[in-house]
Amino acid sequence: MQHERKIRVLIAKPGLDSHDRGAKVVARALRDAGMEVIYTGLRQTPELIAETALQEDVDVVGLSILSGAHKALFPRIMDLLKKKGLTDVMVFAGGIIPQEDLAEMKKLGIKEIFGPGTTTEAIIRYVLDNVPKKT
């Protein structure tokens, strides 16, 4: 039990969203699926998110955003993750991200985007199937 490797996930809310109900639902679902989930609350800056991902040595980062600021914030976040050497971290996003922006976000390195209506089962499945193996 003690040396079982657990998947560590950071659920982060960049920008100025005023509520985090969705992010918390996802966080709890991942916890119930046996993962260790770090949730850092509202109004996170890209710097805070990247540094947290580094200190917590997470396997996955889930970005939750509702305000439409993803085009401004995601590139900065992905850039900082790269600068800190966190290239083996899988990043996914959720919230309100319009269809027409999906391709651009994926080009930044965000592996998958879960829009409204996605089930927690789907997200859990995705993480379990795609989490990178850490060396």
Partner 1 sequence: MTRTEEIVHGVLAGNRRSIARAITIIENEPLKAHEIIAAIYPRAGKAHVIGLTGSGGAGKSTLIEKIVREYRQKGKTVGVVAVDPTSPFTGGAFLGDRIRMQELSTDEGVFIRSMANRNYPGGLAKATKDAVKILDAAGKDVILVETVGAGQSEVEIIKVAQTIVLIHAPGLGDEIQAIKAGLMEIADIFVVNKADRENADKTMMDIQAMLQLNNNGKPWKPPILKTVALSGEGVPQLVEKLEEHRHFIEEDTERKKKLLKATAEAELAEAIKERTVSSILDDLRKEGKFEELLQKILKREIDPASAAEKLLNERLRKH
Which 95-134 residues touch partner 1, going by CB under 8 A? Answer: 134
Q: How far is the CB of 95 from partner 1 (least distance, A)?
A: 19
With CA atoms as reference, report the closest residue to 82 among 61, 67, 64.
61
Helices (H), the chain: 21-32, 46-55, 70-83, 102-107, 120-130
Q: How far is the CB of 15 from partner 1 (least distance, A)?
A: 15
Which of 15, 22, 26, 35: binder of partner 1 (CB under 8 A)? 35
Please give the Cα distance from 94 to 26 (Å, whole number).
Answer: 10
Please give the Cα distance from 37 to 131 (Å, whole number).
Answer: 14
Per-residue binding string, partner 1, 59-98, x by CB under 8 A, is -------------------------xx-------------
CA 29 to chain centroid:
14
The number of beta carbons lying within 10 Å of the beta carbon of residue 3 is 4
Residue count, binding to partner 1 (CB under 8 A): 34
CB-nearer residue toward partner 1: 19 or 107 = 19
Q: Which span sits near partner 1 by CB under 8 A: 37-45, 90-98, 104-112, 115-123?
A: 37-45
The number of beta carbons lying within 10 Å of the beta carbon of residue 133 is 7
* Residues forming the site for partner 1 (CB under 8 A): 1-6, 8, 27-28, 30-41, 44, 47-48, 51-52, 54-57, 84-85, 134-135
